[in-house]
Structure 1
Amino acid sequence: MRYDASHKQQTRQRVLRAAARAIRSDGAQRVAVAGVMREAGLTHGGFYAHFESKDALVVAAIGQMFDDALAQWQRVNEGRGDAERLAGYIDLYLSAKHRDHPGHGCPMAALASELPRLDADARRAFAEGSRRLQQALSQTLARLGHDDAPALAASVLAELVGAIALARCEPDRKRSNALLASSRHALYRRLSLTSAEKHE
């Protein structure tokens, strides 16, 4: 049976989203093509109709992760003002849900420690995605009147990524929750924000 270009693109997206979840959960070097294809509901033999190698899949999946992260930023914050949008992003990022479900979380937190061991194309895809997230945050900070918004955006992202990474490393749940809470409140104070949500 022959399929049109639209079907092929939809199938590719299924593979990419399955690969993105696997990479965020287990790391790029542990991802197996057979497992990704199985998760996408496809046979291993169909892989090469979409990607020439596992490395090419990883590069494309990294780009997909950042596309999804930016789409989530827009979806979650639709209809909100800039201050509420920024507070909502911090609340969502530094939440127990994000900590406990890395397979659906931020690609920066999932991949930063592994990235030096990946190839140059993967590092470029990550750098481009990171710049896109930083730009979205910078634009929001600039509209809120913060000076040197690009540098501030880079610093805020570094704090977010570092805090969620440390919270995931902490085996004591109460300590982990406290770390997330203290990081949220430090960022609220620094950026003159009020929390958009309540946390347990």
Structure 2
Amino acid sequence: MTSKNLNDKERIIELAKAGVRPKILAKFFGHTPGTISMFLTEARKNGEPIKKFVNGTGGLSEEAVLLYLDGMTPNSIAKQLGCPASTVYWAIKVTKDRGLPIDETPHGIARADQVIVRIKEKNAFAISKEAKRRGMTPTDLADRVITAVLTDNLFDAVLDEDAPESTSQKGASHVH
């Protein structure tokens, strides 16, 4: 296990002891829910006082925090979930009060330094499916793909109009 994972594991255990739900921990730290479950099960066996979280009982508050971690604003979350914005703000506040630095990524990047990229639903499904296969979150996979294109200057390789049209380019709009 890398030192980053060890540090994450310690932080995850402390946050779980404070009541932060596993799905939120998985999204925040970029681990799979199974990894979080393994960390918490092992910690409980070692005597850590971590309550058992029942799947599906996080409700509206958990969903609001998960959407907030995806980069949505509290007002957008309230509209999507059909609840008052005050409910969303409360859920975010409770999570912060439990110790999760929710306005930063685990690597210290401020939430304001992140942007939302909207994609078509069928593409979101494809990213989710591939992310699951790789044991990643859809957000992390999309970030890695975009970062690779930017870092390695792969725009022409991905969007080259002189190359035969690939399946992925059919129906894609090109900006000139």
Q: TM-score range by the shorter chain?
A: under 0.3
Greater share of helix: 1
The two structures have a TM-score, normalised by structure 2, of 0.27
